[in-house]
Amino acid sequence: MTVGLRPTQRRLAVLGSPIAHSRSPLLHAAAYRELGLDWEYKAIEVTGETLAEFVDSRDAAWRGLSLTMPLKRDVIPLLDSIDATARLTGSVNTLVFDEVGARHGFNTDVPGITDAFARRGFTTFDRIHVLGGGATAATAIAASAALGARQVTVSVRSPERAAALREVGRGVGVEVSIGSLAVAGTLSSDAIISTLPNGVDAGVGFDESTRRSTVLFDVAYEPWPSTLASTWLAAGGTVIPGIDMLVHQALIQIRIFVHGTPTIAVDREGHVLAVMREAVGAPRD
């Protein structure tokens, strides 16, 4: 889907509650400066109860919105269309207004994960282990499918409450099995994606061999390193931090805000990505 641009002053924002801590304004401001665009991007406190009123009240100056949980789900009934990834995951993190004010939703979190892996040279896995069954787990399953995984194991505290994730797996063509976090450390895989919120210590222990040989992607980025990432680093293992996902999903958002589609790169995209990484202190290669 290509969404046309409007010849008006662009205004954008990231919404959530709380939202003052968001690094998205730093990322977007750095990108728009590099692109020579005088666009405004702010963090605005919005809850699920006030979301519809906020979206309805945007005027023609508004180009789009970034959304945090639980607004990624709350926004879906307010949209005129959503992309296939958003439909499969039940999560929209990007809203763009087209030239007639219609609202289109996208999920850039999935390619944010796959691009973060690719940046470290990882493009294909057979088996992926997902820790945590919250909202980000569905995104991790979809990303696993995009990385070629045939099997995804999801470890959660209460397996009976995560049954809906099997349907996500069916939608993206991977077999999803669900088990307890209590035994997560005994399972083998090619990669681990931890979706545990804020890097919480879930008491999951992996042996040193696993930590050295299995790449860990941890969606946490503040505080960093998380407890799990610290154990990986101590063993000399490979860790991909959540800040990489944040940067890459934001770059795809910027494509959408500039061109109306996630598939067209912005001008000098490599330089744009570099200044975005620098703006939030993301690790250098």
**Residues recognised as catalytic:** 72
Torsion angle (degrees, nearest 10) of CA 153, 158, 163, 165: -50
**What is the 8-class DSSP label of residue 130?**
E
The order of strands in the sheet holding 127-131 is 175-180, 151-156, 127-131, 191-194, 215-218, 239-241
d(CA 24, CA 21): 9
Judged by DSSP in three states, 112 sits in helix
d(CA 120, CA 250): 18
Sequential DSSP letters for 221-255: -SSSS-HHHHHHHHTT--EEEHHHHHHHHHHHHHH
* Residue 197, amino acid: P
